[in-house]
Structure 1
Amino acid sequence: MSVLERAGLRDSAKVFGELQKQGWEHSQWDYCNIVQASADKVHVDTRFSRFRADGSLIGYYKSLYILTKEKGRWGIEFRSSYAE
Protein backbone atom coordinates (compact mmCIF):
# COMPACT_ATOMS: atom_id res chain seq x y z
CA MET A 1 0.00 0.00 0.00
CA SER A 2 1.20 3.50 -0.80
CA VAL A 3 0.16 6.51 1.23
CA LEU A 4 0.43 9.88 -0.48
CA GLU A 5 0.21 12.61 2.12
CA ARG A 6 -0.38 15.38 -0.44
CA ALA A 7 -0.89 15.96 -4.15
CA GLY A 8 2.15 15.73 -6.41
CA LEU A 9 3.96 12.91 -4.60
CA ARG A 10 3.38 10.31 -7.32
CA ASP A 11 5.71 10.40 -10.32
CA SER A 12 3.24 10.39 -13.21
CA ALA A 13 6.00 9.79 -15.80
CA LYS A 14 6.92 6.55 -14.01
CA VAL A 15 3.29 5.40 -13.68
CA PHE A 16 2.30 6.18 -17.27
CA GLY A 17 5.67 5.10 -18.67
CA GLU A 18 5.18 1.59 -17.26
CA LEU A 19 1.67 1.44 -18.74
CA GLN A 20 2.96 2.56 -22.14
CA LYS A 21 5.56 -0.23 -22.09
CA GLN A 22 2.57 -2.63 -21.89
CA GLY A 23 1.04 -1.02 -24.99
CA TRP A 24 -1.42 1.21 -23.10
CA GLU A 25 -2.71 4.26 -24.97
CA HIS A 26 -5.82 5.32 -23.03
CA SER A 27 -8.32 4.33 -20.35
CA GLN A 28 -12.05 4.84 -19.93
CA TRP A 29 -14.55 4.55 -17.09
CA ASP A 30 -16.97 1.66 -17.61
CA TYR A 31 -19.11 2.69 -14.65
CA CYS A 32 -19.02 4.75 -11.46
CA ASN A 33 -21.73 3.87 -8.93
CA ILE A 34 -22.12 5.79 -5.70
CA VAL A 35 -22.76 3.17 -3.03
CA GLN A 36 -22.73 5.43 0.04
CA ALA A 37 -22.70 9.18 0.48
CA SER A 38 -22.86 11.89 3.10
CA ALA A 39 -22.26 15.63 2.96
CA ASP A 40 -18.48 15.16 3.13
CA LYS A 41 -17.72 11.58 2.06
CA VAL A 42 -18.64 9.39 -0.93
CA HIS A 43 -17.83 5.73 -1.64
CA VAL A 44 -17.73 4.96 -5.37
CA ASP A 45 -17.73 1.46 -6.90
CA THR A 46 -15.98 1.72 -10.27
CA ARG A 47 -14.59 -0.23 -13.17
CA PHE A 48 -12.27 1.12 -15.83
CA SER A 49 -10.74 -0.38 -18.96
CA ARG A 50 -7.31 0.09 -20.50
CA PHE A 51 -6.83 0.07 -24.28
CA ARG A 52 -4.08 -0.04 -26.87
CA ALA A 53 -3.86 2.54 -29.66
CA ASP A 54 -5.64 0.15 -32.06
CA GLY A 55 -8.63 0.01 -29.70
CA SER A 56 -7.99 -3.52 -28.43
CA LEU A 57 -8.65 -4.16 -24.74
CA ILE A 58 -5.74 -4.71 -22.36
CA GLY A 59 -8.00 -5.37 -19.39
CA TYR A 60 -10.65 -4.03 -17.06
CA TYR A 61 -10.26 -3.32 -13.36
CA LYS A 62 -12.71 -2.94 -10.51
CA SER A 63 -11.90 -0.31 -7.90
CA LEU A 64 -13.36 1.38 -4.86
CA TYR A 65 -12.74 5.09 -4.38
CA ILE A 66 -13.40 7.03 -1.19
CA LEU A 67 -13.72 10.75 -1.81
CA THR A 68 -13.80 13.26 1.03
CA LYS A 69 -14.43 16.96 1.31
CA GLU A 70 -11.84 18.79 3.41
CA LYS A 71 -11.55 22.57 3.77
CA GLY A 72 -14.19 23.00 1.06
CA ARG A 73 -12.41 20.82 -1.53
CA TRP A 74 -13.20 17.29 -2.73
CA GLY A 75 -10.37 14.83 -3.24
CA ILE A 76 -9.59 11.12 -3.37
CA GLU A 77 -8.77 9.94 0.14
CA PHE A 78 -8.34 6.27 -0.71
CA ARG A 79 -8.39 3.91 -3.67
CA SER A 80 -8.48 0.15 -3.60
CA SER A 81 -8.01 -1.37 -7.03
CA TYR A 82 -7.28 -4.64 -8.78
CA ALA A 83 -5.24 -2.79 -11.40
CA GLU A 84 -1.53 -3.50 -11.55
Structure 2
Amino acid sequence: WKFSGIEKPHITWSFNGQPLEANERFQITETEDGTTTLSIHKAELTDKGVYTAKATNAVGEAEAKTTLNIAGIKPTLTNDLDATLQ
Protein backbone atom coordinates (compact mmCIF):
# COMPACT_ATOMS: atom_id res chain seq x y z
CA TRP A 1 0.00 0.00 0.00
CA LYS A 2 1.02 3.61 -0.43
CA PHE A 3 0.34 6.21 2.26
CA SER A 4 1.15 9.91 1.98
CA GLY A 5 0.84 13.04 4.06
CA ILE A 6 2.46 16.43 4.58
CA GLU A 7 4.13 14.90 7.62
CA LYS A 8 5.45 11.44 6.73
CA PRO A 9 3.22 8.89 8.49
CA HIS A 10 4.43 6.15 10.82
CA ILE A 11 3.30 2.73 9.53
CA THR A 12 2.39 -0.20 11.77
CA TRP A 13 1.23 -3.65 10.70
CA SER A 14 -1.13 -6.04 12.46
CA PHE A 15 -2.38 -9.58 11.90
CA ASN A 16 -5.91 -10.42 13.07
CA GLY A 17 -5.83 -7.32 15.29
CA GLN A 18 -2.49 -8.13 16.96
CA PRO A 19 0.74 -6.16 16.33
CA LEU A 20 2.97 -7.76 13.71
CA GLU A 21 6.73 -7.36 14.01
CA ALA A 22 9.26 -8.05 11.27
CA ASN A 23 11.25 -11.26 11.69
CA GLU A 24 12.87 -13.95 9.54
CA ARG A 25 9.49 -14.82 7.95
CA PHE A 26 7.73 -11.44 7.89
CA GLN A 27 9.65 -8.70 6.08
CA ILE A 28 8.30 -5.14 6.19
CA THR A 29 9.75 -2.55 3.83
CA GLU A 30 8.99 1.14 3.39
CA THR A 31 10.15 3.38 0.57
CA GLU A 32 10.64 7.14 0.53
CA ASP A 33 7.47 7.63 -1.54
CA GLY A 34 5.32 6.13 1.25
CA THR A 35 4.91 2.62 -0.16
CA THR A 36 4.90 -0.11 2.47
CA THR A 37 5.16 -3.81 1.66
CA LEU A 38 4.73 -6.92 3.79
CA SER A 39 6.40 -10.07 2.44
CA ILE A 40 5.72 -13.47 3.99
CA HIS A 41 8.43 -16.07 3.43
CA LYS A 42 7.48 -19.75 3.60
CA ALA A 43 3.81 -19.05 4.30
CA GLU A 44 2.02 -21.49 6.58
CA LEU A 45 -1.67 -22.27 6.96
CA THR A 46 -1.66 -20.32 10.24
CA ASP A 47 -0.71 -17.16 8.28
CA LYS A 48 -4.20 -16.86 6.77
CA GLY A 49 -6.24 -14.01 8.19
CA VAL A 50 -6.62 -10.23 8.08
CA TYR A 51 -3.50 -8.06 7.62
CA THR A 52 -3.78 -4.34 8.35
CA ALA A 53 -1.38 -1.49 7.59
CA LYS A 54 -2.07 1.64 9.66
CA ALA A 55 -0.55 5.04 8.89
CA THR A 56 -0.47 7.64 11.67
CA ASN A 57 0.81 11.22 11.83
CA ALA A 58 -0.05 14.39 13.78
CA VAL A 59 -3.09 15.06 11.58
CA GLY A 60 -4.75 11.66 11.84
CA GLU A 61 -4.65 8.07 10.71
CA ALA A 62 -5.65 5.84 7.82
CA GLU A 63 -5.59 2.10 7.38
CA ALA A 64 -5.82 -0.52 4.67
CA LYS A 65 -6.83 -4.15 5.19
CA THR A 66 -6.59 -7.32 3.16
CA THR A 67 -7.47 -10.94 3.83
CA LEU A 68 -4.97 -13.66 3.02
CA ASN A 69 -6.46 -17.06 2.20
CA ILE A 70 -4.23 -20.11 1.81
CA ALA A 71 -5.79 -23.10 0.06
CA GLY A 72 -2.98 -25.48 0.97
CA ILE A 73 0.74 -25.94 1.31
CA LYS A 74 2.80 -27.66 -1.37
CA PRO A 75 3.85 -31.11 -0.15
CA THR A 76 7.51 -31.97 0.27
CA LEU A 77 9.07 -35.36 -0.29
CA THR A 78 10.78 -36.88 2.72
CA ASN A 79 11.94 -40.13 1.09
CA ASP A 80 14.67 -40.63 -1.49
CA LEU A 81 12.93 -41.29 -4.82
CA ASP A 82 16.04 -43.03 -6.13
CA ALA A 83 15.84 -45.72 -3.44
CA THR A 84 15.06 -49.19 -4.74
CA LEU A 85 11.83 -50.75 -3.52
CA GLN A 86 12.09 -54.37 -2.38
**What TM-score bracket applies, with the shorter chain setting the length?**
0.3 to 0.5
Which structure's residues are more often strand, by fraction?
A: 1
| TM-score, normalization by structure 1 | 0.32
Which structure has the greater CA radius of gyration? 2
Q: Which has the higher helix share?
A: 1
Q: TM-score, normalised by structure 2?
A: 0.32
Q: Which has the higher contact order (CA 8 A, sep 6+)?
A: 2
